[in-house]
Chain A
Amino acid sequence: MERSVARKFRDGKMVKVWVKSDGGSIKEIRITGDFFAHPEEGIELIERELRDVKIVEVRRALESASGGITLIGVSIEDLIDMIEECLE
């Protein structure tokens, strides 16, 4: 199944998370929007690292994949929240 959640954050940044899952784990995920991430490749890294991750493991996987990334306009906690909402 596929679901997306879009949210507008403080500072006006808009973020959309799209998740394709099989009910047990994430098959594909895409994070889009007008936020900033440094280095930019960090977002693609997160998207790769979350593939095939079990739903209960999302927080741990995202926290470990996002270690060296500076996000502006959205936080890791926001992303976890949105991914979990997509998986509800």
Chain B
Amino acid sequence: MDKIRVIRFEYGDAFFNMALDEAIMRAVGGGMSPPTLRIYGWDPPAVSVGYFQELKEEIDLEFCHDRKIQMVRRLSGGGAVLHTPKELTYSFSVRVDDPLVPQDVQGSYMKICAPIVSALRKLGVEANFRPINDIEVARRKVSGSAQTRRFGAVLQHGTILLGMDYSLLPALKTRPEKLAEKGVRDVRDRITTIGELLRREVKQSEFEDLLIRSFAAHFQASVEETKLCGMEELIPALEERYKSAEWTFRR
């Protein structure tokens, strides 16, 4: 891999965010674009559910409606995630046959999470990869990722909790099987943010530079910054699909 295309941090709404990730993935898989790292944020706040999840089992619809939290179904599997404007989300798309990313799914998670772990360590937190798809600091989750493999590409996207608006956590239904008891306190024992660990605010712009450098170093690639994904014309139709009730409530 000699070149990584980088799309720098911008806020988007849930539907645009998922549409752009898919457009990038299609462009990369179709050979129209080199491996692409995109860094972005969510505004307004949103919850995303995994491709196989039953939405109403995971999300408090009434709370989301009252607090104007968007709901979107991802192309990737995995669990429900609350996205607030203080977090940073990344997506990395690479051709499925690119030799720098292992064919086996577990190995590829580790490979793509490695630059994130390095960037977090540069910031000063003792981050570790925890299989299958998490990054933890002192046993508390600071980042979770999910993959989908379609259109000739692997797309891995994930959150990095620089900060978090905990007041929106009730958007996710916490299950007794997953947490000891219901309630925000228990979630806060399982997850933390970089801001809390470092006792200062970490802005997206600060972490973004570390992350880009780390991806370039890990994949021994040069960085080409761009605002284009190679398949811009797909975005409006993809946004419509991600907005549709048919897609959102398909499970």
Check A39 against B131 for contact (C-beta < 8 Å). no
- Report the Cα distance A72→B54, complex, angstroms: 18
Check B57 against A16 for contact (C-beta < 8 Å). yes
Partner of B132, one of A11, A14, A33, A39: A11
Within 8 A of B (CB), among A23-81: 30-40, 43, 70, 72-73
Q: Is the interface of B mostly helix, strand, loop or mixed?
A: loop
Partner of B150, one of A11, A31, A40: A40
How close is B247's CB to chain A, nearest CB, in angstroms? Answer: 13
How close is B135's CB to chain A, nearest CB, in angstroms? Answer: 15
Check A11 against B52 for contact (C-beta < 8 Å). no
Partner of B178, one of A12, A16, A37: A12
Find the B residue at minimum CB distance from A74. B52
- Report the Cα distance A40→B1, complex, angstroms: 27
A37: chain B residues at CB < 8 Å are 52, 77
Check A36 against B105 for contact (C-beta < 8 Å). yes
- Report the Cα distance A20→B225, complex, angstroms: 52
Check B53 against A36 for contact (C-beta < 8 Å). no
Check B51 against A40 for contact (C-beta < 8 Å). yes
A35: chain B residues at CB < 8 Å are 52, 77
Interface string of B146-162 (1 = CB under 8 A from A): 11111000000000000
List 23 interface pairs A-B (beta carbons < 8 Å), by A numbering: A11-B131, A12-B178, A14-B79, A14-B177, A16-B57, A30-B251, A32-B57, A33-B50, A33-B53, A34-B52, A34-B77, A34-B78, A36-B132, A38-B105, A38-B147, A38-B148, A39-B149, A40-B51, A40-B148, A40-B150, A70-B105, A72-B77, A72-B105
